[in-house]
Structure 1
Amino acid sequence: MKVRMACLCMMMSTAFVAHAQENTQDNLQGNGQTQSQQAGKWEEGFSGSAMLLFGVTQSNSQADSGDDTIGSLDEDGEKQTEGFVFPIASSDLSYTFTGGNHQVFIGTSNADIALGRPHLQVGYGQHIDQVGTIKLSYIPGLISSTTWQDPFLVGSKRHETDRTIKGARLQFSEILDTGLGLEFAAGKNEIDDELSGSQYSSQVQSQLDREGDLYYGELYYVTPVTETALIRSSFSYLRNQANGDAMASNQYTGQIALFQRYQQSTLTLSLKYQYAKFDESHPLFDKVQENDAVGLLATYTYDDIFGWQGVGVGVLAGFTEHLSNIDFYQYESWILGTGIRYVF
């Protein structure tokens, strides 16, 4: 599967919200079963979900979307509006062993936390009473996204190439029966045809190499506000150890989300701030890149629509403003979408 990078930038926040909704659902309404009915953390046997997500995005990013031909690196990016269909968004299958505290799973990660985009992952989870829930998973890189072979190509048509990320992640949630959670991940960013700076010297090309290693860590806390409302606050750090020194960066993100549960529906409002600083001066712009981003996202989901057990629908709307001291990397993007989900 291939998805546009501009679309993924917004879907990352969307998926985060879906993940947090799942992780906090028990706090809001319980899991629908008493301890006598369910011995452990999860219901024994097979379970899962399937979701179809579709909608429209718009972005004026020069680095990952925009016109395929540009006359200058100083040009403002043209707004590009694209429809998207993501047929396996938030889809997964798991099997829980006898006792309800051991589980294997496969599917797309709602969090997209590990490396900031949808991933297919395979993993194992274990719940330990009064300790917490631990999950370890592998991301094989089967879902790819598209980006430019050379974002800086001027006067000729820019061509798309595939970007894949492979890695592993460790999640530790509900630590000591509290709302505290941790996540760590490490991965490798691979681009099929990395040709950044192809019109310049080999030294410049090496400085602009986007491939490399990624390391991620997050600390979050879930705070009950009322019996039906929660606040999830988080801070995360991403080290992008790109091969090119001008592309390597440290990224810091703070995010807060409010979850309000109603009888059959959930409203989520999320605010995110992100800051990134790069290691070395950009050879084409003669300055060290620094970026700031603010994102807003609202989602509304409705369960068991028309009385159909396990069938739900949702709508979402989001906006991101990405600022940079280098105009080439400044852009705005928004997303409108809807989806249908079946849980079994």
Structure 2
Amino acid sequence: MSHKIIKFCLAVLTTIPLVASAQLAENSGFSGELTVIGGMTSTDSNLSTNTQKNKQGLLNSGGSRENTGIFGALGNITYTFGVDNDRQFFAGTSREDIAVGNVALEVGYKQLLTSGTRLTISYLPTLLSEDVWSDPFLVNSARTETERSGNAFRLKLDSIVNSPLSIDVAYARSEIDDERSGSGSGLTAEEQDLLRRGSDSVYMKVSYRHALVPGSGLSSALIYRNSEADGGAMAHDSAGGELSYFSFQGQGKYVLTGSYEYRDYDQEHPVFESTRSDNVFGVFLAYEYMNFLGIRPLSLVSLAGYNVVNSNISFYDESQYLLTVGASYQF
């Protein structure tokens, strides 16, 4: 299963607190969660290794659509300690990230400060791992796969001074194992260097929660990314936002999130002789039904999502649909 599909799905529902808790967990010691899900995704992208290996026709055109069944498991484990259960070590996937479509292994430390701020410091060793084409721009010829891998470091400040404001900052480095972009397009060595995808990236997110009525509210966020890619045609800045409506009433919980991002690339693309810019739209619906089958720690979980990239270079246009259903067990 590709990283893009995993990143787009595999959801359990986040619990967005309306009031900061005086504890990180009800009880000290170990606790955790295991989620198993299955479903399907439909992808139309020239960059996805789940679609056509041998692109036919014009290079600067959209990809072919591929429908794929998916199955996976994820979870997390925590160890909570301190006089007021205000300190915690954790490893696994974060509920907050999963509910808006982001999944990565995260290992770190969390502490509830006396001000009410929740401080999290973490390391994400698999944030960027995914299969990619070694040279995406081959046409009428079989493309070969390689891997993008990377590591990230993250700092989060949630419910700052018991307020609805949160800040999330991360730094990541990614590498392409066998980078051959443009090698089959008759480009010079200097032009091929412009297409190198390894990068240093900075991510910043500022979010704010607003309660509407008890059990429901809005969460809005502004997001900025800077990717200093090794190749100037791949380096870009992006800015965007998210708006989520959440409702936690009775046994049912859901979060509906809409997102938008604009990407602006630094230099002209040597293959398409144009500087790339993208508009990215997404919508996610995460749902959880607690005490499923009358079993208290068991929940029914589901996610439906749609993501689309509209680029000024048709080669980079893509869209993806997804639907999953599964079960989550807390211990």
TM-score when normalising by structure 1 = 0.88
Say which SS state the counterpart of residue 283 (structure 2) adopts.
Answer: strand
Match of 1:118?
A: 103
The answer to whether the Cα contact below 8 Å between 1:5 and 1:64 also exists between their aligned partners in 2 is: no
CA change 1:276–1:142 in 2 (3 A) is closer
* Structure 1 residue runs without a partner (length 5+): 32-38
> Which moved further from structure 2: 104-113 or 215-224?
104-113
Match of 1:147?
A: 132
The answer to whether the Cα contact below 8 Å between 1:145 and 1:164 also exists between their aligned partners in 2 is: yes
Instruction: Please point out which of 182, 205, 210 is paired with 1:197.
Output: 182
The answer to whether the Cα contact below 8 Å between 2:104 and 2:124 also exists between their aligned partners in 1 is: yes
Match of 1:36?
A: none
CA change 1:8–1:87 in 2 (3 A) is closer
Q: CA deviation at 1:57?
A: 0.8
Q: What does 1:1-344 correspond to in 2, within 5 Å?
A: 3-8=1-6, 10-11=8-9, 18=13, 21-22=14-15, 24=16, 26-27=17-18, 40-42=23-25, 43-65=27-49, 66-71=51-56, 72-88=58-74, 91-99=75-83, 100-112=85-97, 117-141=102-126, 144-199=129-184, 200-344=187-331
The answer to whether the Cα contact below 8 Å between 1:92 and 1:105 also exists between their aligned partners in 2 is: yes
The answer to whether the Cα contact below 8 Å between 1:127 and 1:133 also exists between their aligned partners in 2 is: yes
Q: CA deviation at 1:319?
A: 1.1
CA change 1:112–1:207 in 2 (3 A) is farther
Say which SS state the counterpart of residue 205 (structure 1) adopts.
Answer: helix
Q: Deviations over 1:95-132 (max 9, x none)?
A: 0113201111111234559xx85321210111013341
Matched letter for residue 129 of structure 1: T
In 2, the alpha carbon distance for the partners of 1:117 and 1:176 equals: 26
In 1, the alpha carbon distance for the partners of 2:122 and 2:329 equals: 23
Say which SS state the counterpart of residue 18 (structure 2) adopts.
Answer: helix
In 1, the alpha carbon distance for the partners of 2:206 and 2:60 equals: 38
Q: Deviations over 1:65-87 (max 9, x none)?
A: 43111133123311011112221
* Structure 2 residue runs without a partner (length 5+): none
- The runs of 4+ residues in structure 1 deviating greater than 6 Å are none
Matched letter for residue 49 of structure 1: E
* Alignment root-mean-square deviation, CA: 2.1
Matched letter for residue 288 of structure 2: T
Specify which structure has the bigger relative contact order, considering alpha-carbon pairs within 8 angstroms and separated by 6 or more residues: 2
Q: CA deviation at 1:40?
A: 3.1
Q: CA deviation at 1:143?
A: 7.7
Question: Identity rate of aligned residues, in percent?
Answer: 30
In 2, the alpha carbon distance for the partners of 1:224 and 1:239 equals: 31
Specify which structure has the higher proportion of helix: 1
In 2, the alpha carbon distance for the partners of 1:294 and 1:143 equals: 20
Q: Deviations over 1:191-233 (max 9, x none)?
A: 2222111213211221001111111100000111110102110
Match of 1:35?
A: none
TM-score when normalising by structure 2 = 0.91
